[in-house]
Structure 1
Amino acid sequence: MIPKKLNLLLVGLVMAGCSSTQYLKTDDGVVVNINSSGTNDVKKVRVQVLRDELVHISATPQNEFPKDSSLIIVPGIKTTPFTVKDVADSVMVSTSRLRVMISRKDGGVNFKDKNGKVILAEKQGGGKTFTPIEVEGTNGYSVRQIFNSPADEAFHGLGQHQADEFNYKGKSEELFQYNTKVSVPFIVSNKNYGVLWDSYSLSRFGDSRPYKQLNTLFKLYDKKGNAGSLTGTYISNVKDVKNIERKEESIFFEDIKSIKNLPQNFPLKNANVTYEGEIEAPESGDYKFTLYYAGYVKVFLDNKLVVAERWRTAWNPNSYKFSLPLQAGKRVPLRIEWRPDGGTSYCGLRALAPQPVDEKNNQVWWSEMSKKLDYYFVYGDNADEVIKGYRTLTGKSQVMPKWAMGYWQSRERYKTQDEIVGNLKEFRKRKFPIDNIVLDWNYWEEDAWGSHEFDAKRFPDPKGMVDDIHALNAKMMISVWPKFYKTTEHFKEFDTKGWMYQQAIKDNVRDWVGPGYVGSFYDAYSGGARKLFWKQIYDNLYPLGIDAWWMDASEPNVLDCTDMEYRKALCGPTALGSSTEFFNTYALMNAEAIYNGQRSVEPNKRVFLLTRSGFAGLQRYSTATWSGDIATRWEDMKAQISAGLNFAVSGIPYWTMDIGGFCVEDRYVSGQQAYDKDGKENSDYKEWRELNTRWFQFGAFAPLYRAHGQFPYREPWNIAPDTHPAYKSILYYTNLRYRLMPYIYTMAGMTYFNNYTIMRPLFMDFAADSKTENISDQFMFGPAFMVCPVYSYEARKRNVYFPAGSNWFDFYTGKYISGGQQLSVDAPYEHIPLFIREGAIIPVGPEMQYSNEKPADKIVLYVYKGKDGSFTLYEDEDNNYNYETGKYSNIAFTYNNANNTLTIGERKGEFTGMIKNRTFTIVTVSKDKPKAFTYDAEGQTVNYNGQKQTITLK
């Protein structure tokens, strides 16, 4: 008698017997063997079915798959029923929603819906490339996967980047972690699918090639027409310093190594530097350029201004991308005007030749080092379903504590105990709402980074400080770095167990504090190191009652502005392998340390983490990300809109930014008086105040509302006096944020229960309107609000597109606006353009100074007529995990436009402290009866005790 398992295997082999290629059905899918000729050609393709709409694809050029596990995929995902059968020259794996076709000839994979329509297809021939790589004695592959992409496809996601790009179709992005850059290898297509690329190394999307030096792509000519180089001219503003003119074979001064090629002993700060000449392309086509800059820079190409003036602080450069079609053999003028803004500064321009045909306009993924090629295909009927699939794979987003939805005040930095408590008292004195205040870095003694001990001279009573903050009905977040000076006991604890990265110690790398101190980062890839990291926090900081943890520099940023190879050396080798292989996931491991640590000692207190970096899966650790040390420029404010939207589409719902920008131009800190002797506002102060006003207006509708930055201070009264329109506007939107707390906290609940996304690109809700795919400067804040930030100085109007599929109401007037059109709308200083979707239902709570000051027993319920609508109010105990065991409530509101009725559903669920009886005041807005949004509007009053009732609206 043949054993059952062997019998199944023989049946599988017979099924494939008509082909020279065989496949094996497994418990969760199928492995297809490919007859390949080349050593590095694909030999096996594995399909694993995780859900009807979730499929894992792996491929290897080896005879067996390596035994490894994913850092980003949660364990225990149960497989769903599927079938396997031969179809022509392919093997077909079918679920109730998908048909996955694997070519037995070349291993190419096609994804089809249940009706046989292609959703996504790997490029003809499979599109897979494996290039062997060996690092530190470990073998792996640089892998590439190409998918076909139709001309009308759009891609969003990839994390948060700063080049103000939104739709990545036809574009490229290098995926690594750095200050202001957070890479998440997940995209959502407008074809209703997503791809989660499971590699932790340096990766690229859209173009597998690295940018190259100008002289490797072009013939260069100096400003006199001589071949071989551009002309660099360095003009100093320092007396008696001789100007320099020299040949430049490339413009590459992008890190602490390459800037040594700048003129030595030449004072760069505020010098005028020009690189000019001509470039000649060897072939016709579209050339992509990446500009790397610190200081002020402009770029002219072909006598056109292709990069208007941009600025970044000297120590934290930024990248900006642009492209231009060039003709073979045609010399094109190039001119870079650079004014460095520090003694050390950075500038670079690199380029890519026209993309090869096999990659151009397709979906391309490349990673430097992986054991195998790995990705997950996620299918859905819309973007929300695709993001739901991503979270099924990588973990649910936790419900953040309610207080985290309020206003956060931070600065770099409160230097004393009196400063932080005194500023919080000023908020309370002014009746300016606030929930959280933040203590940034350097609260320790200067030479004791990583000690977790306060400098007693500046912080004589840390426990008393936290108690004072709590007594003022606020929470406190503190900065906790993975960095340790080698002289600290905490460093030694890690070091004795081999859990400290050693390169910075060996090289005697000194930081920027005082005389410079030597230290390094702990290895977060070690489970034991993560537990020790939490233990040190638990022993020293947790007893103080601190509420939230700010995990700065979690890229990890051991040293600013290093070249990529040295960065890898500084943060490796890791406990899991080389930093080349595990380059992008440090922040994920670091977040796990505190999340699991806190839940191990106080399992029912909600964790809140804020990290400067992130990766796929970060949301499962109750972690938010902010966009790093961005600049205080209008173009940087605008870039945060697209950055935040793409981060949201990447599946991580909680994102924030430094309102006002972190790094400040000198003109804002020059010490000038705000007003002249005639009472006229200084021009720089005037712009600074308007910039902050516009940024606060935008920030009030981000998932988390938080101001932070270098001097000038960001407390509202330090931006402008309370009589100034800037102060009044900031106060208005902060009050509005708190009045909308029932709406906002409901969205926090929806992120967990419905896998919802709070900050929503327009295409998520208006996918049928193709114009929304490229709108990067408007967004939905939940289901009701369309937010249209103003990001130009002295702009008092802006163009707004009103998506088709809905009509709209002006928030401030109630004016009705038809969808499917673009209009120029008013944008007065005090107000951001804000519109409400037809059919929206918005609960408005009481005026509050902090998030739980008053119960929401009286709610004003705005109903915007014209279309059926619904909203389900979510409530729980605000700051624990009892919602995980069902202790929460939902109250559903349903508006029937035809019948003009509002149904308040029976309350579902209960929890300790739940409001059992409340009053709803229903305010209606319609095309015929426009009404401005006000807090004290009159309407129909309904007493509610949890029982269903239907109200005919007046």
Structure 2
Amino acid sequence: MKISNKIISLKNIDNYLEITTNAAKYRIILLNDNIVRVRCTFDEEFQEEASYALVMTAWKDKMDELLKDERKQVEAISSSYEDLGNYILLTTKSLNINIYKEPFGVEITDKQGNILHSDLKEKSYVKDSLGRIYHYSCMDDEDYFYGFGEKAGYLNKKKRRMRMHNVDTIGYDSEHTDPLYKHIPFYIKFNNKNSIASGIFYNNSYDSTFDMGCERSGYWNKYSYFCADGGELDTFFIYGPKIKDVVRNYTDLTGKTAMSTKYSLGYMGSTMYYTELDKDSDKAILRFLDRCKEEGIPCDGFFMSSGYTTGEDGKRYVFNWNYDRFKNPEDFVSQVKEKGACVAPNIKPGMLISNPLYKEFDEAGAYIKDDEGEKSQTDRYWGGQASFVDFTNPKGRELWKKHLKESLVSLGITSIWNDNNEYEINNTEAICHFEGMKKEISGLRPIMPNLMALMAKETVAEVYQNIRPYIVNRAGFAGIQRYAQTWAGDNNTSWKSLKFNIPVMLGMGLSGVANQGCDIGGFFGPAPEPELFVRWVQNGIFQPRFSIHSCNTDNTVTEPWMYPSYTKYIKEAIKLRYKLVPYLYSLLFEASKEGSPIMRPLIYEFQDDKKLLEESFDFMLGSSILIANVLEKGAKTRKVYLPEGAVWFDWDTKQTYEGGQTIEVEVSLNSIPMFFRSGAIIPIAEGLANIHNDSIETLKLLIEPSEESSFVLYEDDGVTNNYKNGEYLKTLISVKRENSVKIAFEKEGGYDKQPKEINIDLICKDIAPVQVNLRDKKLAMFLDIKEWELSEEGWYFDIEQKTTKIKYKNINENHDLNVNFSVKDLISI
């Protein structure tokens, strides 16, 4: 066993500090004021820099060319240090980095002296006799831990031991199963005592373990640790002080969420059932789209399960079409588009040895090799023995893109569903090309699904240069958000899954993956009972990925109309989803720029409210809407804690509640408890039924003006890359209060297909307006709601909901609206 205990030498080299200890070497790099890299190796020399995960670096890297369109190189802060006797001091504008000489350890504080991170000295960096590497950190009783990617259970992971590994966990228990499909070695630590958040990312893709206080020894201070099966301890400390700052800084490092197509926010139909029919699966899918329209249920796409690839022997062969089920694939894709939908076909990176294309990939050396590096490695897969495409090999990437292009993308398909890509290869010493450097699969397993998604992105771009791809991935590593929307795999059909899938997704959002969801209605198990199905859809409409998908074990198929007497509840919920599309698309834009989650834990928005530290099931949709779904069978009431620091309004009734209290509301089967906060600005589309084909004629804005606030409404064509060339519209909507309420609209960009009418619901909980002016023009006031509805512009006060309804023809330039609340003295008149 090797333990770093004493500094032997140190020197500055090109803006990094190199330290040699008795057991290991270190490089300390101040990447910027908020991110500190501590790189440790127990080998004689550091390995060549070669990261597929990082998009911000301050050094040359083997992957610079491959990631040239994504990677940004910055200049590190000077690593000149001050020797203070027992320790040396490095500084940034935000942080002090104290490096202790003996016993060796790193301590990071803010400028006020708050300890943000402290190595467990005498045991900080360790390599054991089996080659595993450890990083031990001190823990405080007031520490809470969030993130860790896709993990089952409650939001706070304190006192948890979790394994980082990609597994196909069909029918998993969303409270207990570990690991799941994603491998994201990042967490956020929030200290309740000083209310400061920080994060740690381990840039290591070997299987690993986080122990967040399960282990305890009386000879040491309380600690947590990270243990990886190999590689280096490449640790990035990320400062907040807010949780949202940590997420933003982490996604600066590993990438922001891809700006996906707008239609990806629509309802995506799916089921394994249709593509397993003996014949005419194409007709079944087209009929599904027609049925949606007949039922008045909006739908914008269909995830097509792998049954379409089935050969004559019943096995699934990637890039193969079953012509009994799909007589003319190109014509089928065209018909789907005519119906206002996309088709997203399922593809898998494991090629069965009986696949007609197997030999071509094998002879090209495109598979992961055995541990001798000579023959293609085979392993068990769905359908039998298979080899796995090596996406770290240029030959594998190019051959994959060739067949993806020929079999799917050339047919007009620009939506790709990457599935079964966990790379469960049991021979951990199987050899990957690794850009010519050769490395065992145990060190690259979670990288493969990221590169698979990158190849889908590149393939679509090569065939349709100006079309945005829509890519969905099941597995992934840190940075998967740059390429794909994700989902939480093959969940079990149960009330528990409905409930605990929520913190699974919230943890993903805190780990940089803003665009994700889970299978609505449950994937594996018997058909959901009617009440469970309704509640699941009512929750699913708030997930960025909204898809009802199933592989039911009782020969049934989960469809929106499966229980006719309950279909009205399903339809109402999905229509609410479509009303929120302008809000969701603006949140997706925010995620692409800031890294912000779309579904947010309450603690993310209300960090000072200590009652939220353990809240796992209620969440914020963006910054303005609190969602408190009904998650219990037979519920007649729902208790909701409303965070302090805001006033809250019931979505339907506009009833007002002070924050910092728990309320109990009555619920029925059609109830979706929702509350918006003071200062909310929420864009809504009335009547939107199809994102592909419908334009938003009237944009509604729900505005609560008691606090000064702002919101960026983002619009573009939703499909092309024209937004990169200025064809977008960002409207900064801001609310200011003086003697009146001023709502300002500041516009940027060249996208001109704007809604024709603006319709504002302005919450006025204390007093009605006396006058409304648009650009200094007085708008007409109506006493009769019907007259207001027939007018082109003007305003009306709804006294029951205490809401001022304002409408006017949209203005394609900056403008403002002034609402005067002076009391009109009728008596003295």
Q: Under a length normalisation based on structure 1, what TM-score does the superposition of the two structures give?
A: 0.74
Task: Decide whether aligned partners of structure 1 residues 934 and 664 sit closer, same or farther in structure 2, where only a CA change above 3 A counts.
Answer: farther
Shift of 1:419: 0.7
Quote the Cα distance in structure 1 between the aligned partners of 2:446 and 2:676.
39
In structure 1, what residue type is equivalent to 2:669?
Y
User: Contact (CA 8 Å) 2:686, 2:698: kept in 1 or not?
Assistant: yes
Equivalent residue for 1:946, pick from 782, 807, 813: 813
Task: Decide whether aligned partners of structure 1 residues 445 and 581 sit closer, same or farther in structure 2, where only a CA change above 3 A counts.
Answer: closer
Task: Decide whether aligned partners of structure 1 residues 933 and 613 sit closer, same or farther in structure 2, where only a CA change above 3 A counts.
Answer: farther
Quote the Cα distance in structure 2 between the aligned partners of 1:647 and 1:735.
26
| Aligned-residue CA RMSD (Å) | 2.7
Q: Which has the larger radius of gyration?
A: 1
Unaligned runs of 5+ in 2: 1-5, 56-70, 170-179, 191-195, 276-280, 769-796, 822-829
User: Contact (CA 8 Å) 1:207, 1:355: kept in 2 or not?
Assistant: no
Alignment of 1:164-183 (within 5 A): 164-180=153-169, 181=180, 182-183=182-183
Q: Structure 1 residue 819 and structure 2 residue 800: aligned?
A: no
Name the structure 1 match of 2:236.
376
Q: SS at 2:337's partner residue?
A: helix
User: Contact (CA 8 Å) 2:404, 2:459: kept in 1 or not?
Assistant: no
Quote the Cα distance in structure 2 between the aligned partners of 1:543 and 1:860.
39
User: For structure 1, which segment, 865-874 or 447-456, has the greater mean C-alpha deviation from structure 2 after superposition?
Assistant: 447-456
Shift of 1:927: 3.6
In structure 2, what residue type is equivalent to 1:409?
G
User: For structure 1, which segment, 372-381 or 775-784, has the greater mean C-alpha deviation from structure 2 after superposition?
Assistant: 372-381
Shift of 1:53: 0.8
Name the structure 1 match of 2:363.
496
Shift of 1:126: 5.6
Task: Decide whether aligned partners of structure 1 residues 503 and 631 sit closer, same or farther in structure 2, where only a CA change above 3 A counts.
Answer: farther
Quote the Cα distance in structure 1 between the aligned partners of 2:380 and 2:233.
39
Task: Decide whether aligned partners of structure 1 residues 834 and 768 sit closer, same or farther in structure 2, where only a CA change above 3 A counts.
Answer: same
In structure 2, what residue type is equivalent to 1:81?
I
Name the structure 2 match of 1:743.
583
Alpha-carbon deviations, 1:221-240, whole Å to 9, x = none? xxxxxxxxxxxxxxxxxxxx
Alpha-carbon deviations, 1:827-852, whole Å to 9, x = none? 21111211111110111113122114
Q: SS at 2:547's partner residue?
A: strand
Quote the Cα distance in structure 2 between the aligned partners of 1:203 and 1:899.
59
Name the structure 1 match of 2:308.
443
In structure 1, what residue type is equivalent to 2:757?
T
Name the structure 2 match of 1:195.
200
User: Contact (CA 8 Å) 2:270, 2:550: kept in 1 or not?
Assistant: yes
Name the structure 1 match of 2:264.
404
Name the structure 1 match of 2:91.
94
Shift of 1:919: 2.6
Unaligned runs of 5+ in 1: 1-18, 134-140, 209-287, 289-353, 559-565, 669-686
Name the structure 2 match of 1:427.
292
Quote the Cα distance in structure 1 between the aligned partners of 2:164 and 2:381.
26
Q: Structure 1 residue 186 and structure 2 residue 183: aligned?
A: no
In structure 2, what residue type is equivalent to 1:194?
G
User: For structure 1, which segment, 894-903 or 871-880, has the greater mean C-alpha deviation from structure 2 after superposition?
Assistant: 894-903
Quote the Cα distance in structure 1 between the aligned partners of 2:209 and 2:29.
25
Quote the Cα distance in structure 1 between the aligned partners of 2:127 and 2:7.
23
Name the structure 2 match of 1:22.
9
Quote the Cα distance in structure 2 between the aligned partners of 1:359 and 1:183.
29
User: For structure 1, which segment, 728-737 or 67-76, has the greater mean C-alpha deviation from structure 2 after superposition?
Assistant: 67-76
User: Contact (CA 8 Å) 2:543, 2:599: kept in 1 or not?
Assistant: yes
Q: Structure 1 residue 919 and structure 2 residue 779: aligned?
A: no
Shift of 1:926: 4.0
Task: Decide whether aligned partners of structure 1 residues 20 and 650 sit closer, same or farther in structure 2, where only a CA change above 3 A counts.
Answer: closer
Quote the Cα distance in structure 1 between the aligned partners of 2:256 and 2:598.
14
Name the structure 2 match of 1:781.
621
Shift of 1:495: 0.8
Alignment of 1:299-378 (within 5 A): 355-357=216-218, 361-370=222-231, 372-378=232-238
Quote the Cα distance in structure 1 between the aligned partners of 2:219 and 2:390.
40
Quote the Cα distance in structure 1 between the aligned partners of 2:747 and 2:567.
40
Quote the Cα distance in structure 1 between the aligned partners of 2:221 and 2:418.
39
Task: Decide whether aligned partners of structure 1 residues 357 and 489 sit closer, same or farther in structure 2, where only a CA change above 3 A counts.
Answer: farther
Task: Decide whether aligned partners of structure 1 residues 928 and 572 sit closer, same or farther in structure 2, where only a CA change above 3 A counts.
Answer: farther
Shift of 1:574: 5.9
Shift of 1:474: 0.9
User: Contact (CA 8 Å) 1:450, 1:491: kept in 2 or not?
Assistant: no
Q: Structure 1 residue 77 and structure 2 residue 76: aligned?
A: no
Shift of 1:880: 2.2
Q: SS at 1:883's partner residue?
A: helix
Shift of 1:127: 1.0
Alpha-carbon deviations, 1:85-119, whole Å to 9, x = none? 22223222222222222223344111122344321
User: Contact (CA 8 Å) 2:367, 2:377: kept in 1 or not?
Assistant: no
Name the structure 2 match of 1:540.
407
Alignment of 1:832-843 (within 5 A): 832-843=672-683
User: Contact (CA 8 Å) 1:490, 1:536: kept in 2 or not?
Assistant: no
Alpha-carbon deviations, 1:814-838, whole Å to 9, x = none? 1111111122222211112111111
Name the structure 2 match of 1:798.
638
Quote the Cα distance in structure 1 between the aligned partners of 2:670 and 2:444.
47
Equivalent residue for 1:556, pick from 392, 409, 423: 423
Name the structure 1 match of 2:779.
none
Task: Decide whether aligned partners of structure 1 residues 498 and 539 sit closer, same or farther in structure 2, where only a CA change above 3 A counts.
Answer: same
User: For structure 1, which segment, 578-587 or 361-370, has the greater mean C-alpha deviation from structure 2 after superposition?
Assistant: 578-587
Q: SS at 2:762's partner residue?
A: strand
Quote the Cα distance in structure 1 between the aligned partners of 2:295 and 2:572.
13
Task: Decide whether aligned partners of structure 1 residues 360 and 693 sit closer, same or farther in structure 2, where only a CA change above 3 A counts.
Answer: farther
Shift of 1:645: 0.4
Quote the Cα distance in structure 2 between the aligned partners of 1:421 and 1:20.
69
Quote the Cα distance in structure 1 between the aligned partners of 2:251 and 2:741.
36
Equivalent residue for 1:716, pick from 541, 560, 567: 560
User: For structure 1, which segment, 918-927 or 834-843, has the greater mean C-alpha deviation from structure 2 after superposition?
Assistant: 918-927
Alpha-carbon deviations, 1:428-472, whole Å to 9, x = none? 222210111121012123346335121111211111111100011
Q: SS at 1:410's partner residue?
A: strand
Q: SS at 2:506's partner residue?
A: helix
User: Contact (CA 8 Å) 1:789, 1:832: kept in 2 or not?
Assistant: yes
User: For structure 1, which segment, 192-201 or 69-78, has the greater mean C-alpha deviation from structure 2 after superposition?
Assistant: 69-78
Task: Decide whether aligned partners of structure 1 residues 461 and 20 sit closer, same or farther in structure 2, where only a CA change above 3 A counts.
Answer: closer
Name the structure 1 match of 2:249.
389
Equivalent residue for 1:707, pick from 525, 548, 555: 548
How many residues are aligned here?
Answer: 739
Shift of 1:638: 1.0
User: Contact (CA 8 Å) 1:801, 1:821: kept in 2 or not?
Assistant: yes
User: For structure 1, which segment, 580-589 or 634-643, has the greater mean C-alpha deviation from structure 2 after superposition?
Assistant: 580-589
Task: Decide whether aligned partners of structure 1 residues 48 and 466 sit closer, same or farther in structure 2, where only a CA change above 3 A counts.
Answer: same
Shift of 1:552: 0.6
Name the structure 2 match of 1:464.
331
Task: Decide whether aligned partners of structure 1 residues 483 and 914 sit closer, same or farther in structure 2, where only a CA change above 3 A counts.
Answer: same
In structure 2, what residue type is equivalent to 1:362?
Y
Quote the Cα distance in structure 1 between the aligned partners of 2:574 and 2:600.
21
Alignment of 1:232-271 (within 5 A): none
Alpha-carbon deviations, 1:486-523, whole Å to 9, x = none? 2333211211133324679999866565xxx4433222
Equivalent residue for 2:519, pick from 624, 636, 658: 658
Q: SS at 1:458's partner residue?
A: coil
Q: SS at 1:592's partner residue?
A: helix
Equivalent residue for 1:619, pick from 461, 481, 499: 481
Task: Decide whether aligned partners of structure 1 residues 423 and 399 sit closer, same or farther in structure 2, where only a CA change above 3 A counts.
Answer: same
